[in-house]
């Protein structure tokens, strides 16, 4: 393992002013997104859509540090025959790959899941590195509900994350460690904070036991927010303050950066929360974004599968990327959204 190289890549992934584009939707997930804009999901339409993102020179070169790809995408070529990985590299961005195989029910723990995909991962990582991936992503999913999460669910997911991270580093690939506490339930913001803290402390214990070098990792956590079904709203300041408090309690300063997931927040909410955290400051890590929907909802809608809309979709993507880039510096303002509209 070359820790200096891993650290260099991890630092580049969390460069201030930039963040990570999560373009790793599974075929099933992107089909749902395409259904909502009336586009058939085929290998070609998926390629065309992702190509328009990766060819958004303004957004990619100025505001996107890395792109998480799906197995299909890392193997695809653009219409002119250039590999999509090459397009990302030409824009000065780092290619990455989602390597987990999704969630399965955890036996005897109703309502809880565990992420699978460790079998054969060592060999897959070697192949992905050959295809150009320099970092990887594995997502664990923790739900909050009546009597859940259980310690067994948290422990099983944290252990799998640590084993994945160790295999990545062995292959000189930076692991993004993503333990997501879902915002779907009826819980309040304090319950989210409590569970997020429990999950992160368990994850860092498992990473330590797996001898993962934290300097060569990036954390991708949820923000601390009330559950969607709670009917409660928290102010931007409260979300920022409570999220930072939890992170300070759990995340060692050796971690180069934290790239938040948007997790079902609206585009502007995700930007505002990230900005507020950077305005508070005083933390040992870079705070940035690793957004999927919060970067892509606007360009997808603008594109709607039509060639003549590509430029408009690229403008929409560049705007969202820029807004989030400013948020990583604590320089975003609501007026900038209105001005663009």
Helix, strand, coil fractions of the chain, as percent rounded to 5: 50, 15, 35
Phi, psi of 174 (to 5 degrees): -75, 125
Out of 51, 171, 178, 267, pick the active-site residue.
Answer: 178
Helix (H/G/I), strand (E/B), else coil: 106: coil
Cis link prior to 146 (omega < 30° from 0)? no
Cβ-contact 44, 313 below 8 angstroms = no
Kindly tell me the sign of the dihedral angle through the C-alpha atoms of 212, 215, 220, 224: positive
CA 75 to chain centre: 21
Q: What are 11's two structure tokens?
A: 């630092």
Q: What are 264's two structure tokens?
A: 């079902």
Length of the chain: 341
The per-residue DSSP string of 148-173 comes to BS-HHHHHHHHHHHHHHHHHHHHTT-
Q: What are 280's two structure tokens?
A: 């508070």
Q: What are 135's two structure tokens?
A: 């970092």
- Alpha carbon distances (Å) from 148 to 42, 143, 229, 238: 38, 7, 16, 24
The backbone region for 39, taken as left when phi is positive above 0, alpha when psi lies in -120 to 50, beta otherwise, is beta
What does the alpha-carbon distance between residue 332 and residue 325 come to, in Å, rounded to a whole number?
8
Q: Is residue 72 annotated as a catalytic residue, yes or no? A: no
Helix 236-250 × helix 267-280 angle, to 10°:
60
Q: Is residue 220 annotated as a catalytic residue, yes or no? A: yes
Out of 18, 98, 137, 220, pick the active-site residue.
Answer: 220
Of residues 161, 268, 262, 261, the one with CA closest to residue 217: 161
* Residues known to be catalytic: 178, 220
């Amino acid at each position: 393992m070359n820790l200096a190289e891993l650290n260099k890549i991890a630092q580049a992934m969390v460069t201030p002013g930039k963040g990570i584009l999560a373009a790793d939707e599974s075929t099933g997930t992107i089909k749902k997104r395409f259904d909502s804009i009336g586009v058939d999901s085929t290998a070609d339409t998926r390629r065309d859509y992702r190509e328009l993102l990766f060819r958004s020179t303004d957004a990619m070169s100025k505001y996107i540090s890395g792109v998480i790809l799906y197995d299909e995408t890392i193997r695809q070529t653009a219409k002119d025959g250039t590999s999509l990985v090459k397009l990302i590299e030409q824009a000065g961005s780092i290619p990455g790959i989602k390597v987990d195989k999704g969630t399965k029910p955890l036996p005897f723990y109703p309502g809880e899941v565990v992420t699978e995909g460790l079998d054969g991962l060592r060999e897959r990582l070697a192949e992905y590195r050959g295809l150009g991936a320099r970092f990887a992503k594995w997502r664990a999913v923790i739900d909050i509900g009546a009597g859940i999460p259980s310690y067994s669910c948290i422990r099983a997911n944290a252990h799998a994350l640590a084993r994945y991270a160790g295999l990545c580093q062995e292959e000189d690939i930076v692991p993004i460690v993503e333990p997501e506490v879902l915002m779907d339930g009826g819980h309040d913001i304090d319950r989210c904070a409590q569970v997020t803290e429990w999950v992160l402390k368990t994850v860092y214990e498992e990473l330590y036991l797996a001898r993962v070098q934290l300097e060569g990792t990036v954390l991708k956590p949820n923000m601390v927010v009330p559950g969607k079904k709670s009917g409660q709203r928290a102010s931007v300041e409260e979300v920022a303050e409570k999220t930072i408090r939890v992170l300070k309690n759990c995340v060692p300063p050796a971690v180069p950066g934290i790239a938040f997931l948007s997790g079902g927040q609206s585009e502007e909410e995700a930007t505002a929360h990230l900005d507020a955290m950077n305005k508070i400051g005083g933390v040992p890590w870079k705070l940035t974004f690793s957004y999927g929907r919060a970067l892509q909802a606007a360009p997808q809608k603008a594109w709607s599968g039509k060639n003549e809309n590509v430029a408009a979709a690229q403008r929409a993507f560049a705007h969202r990327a820029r807004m989030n880039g400013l948020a990583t510096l604590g320089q975003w303002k609501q007026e900038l959204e209105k001005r663009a509209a």
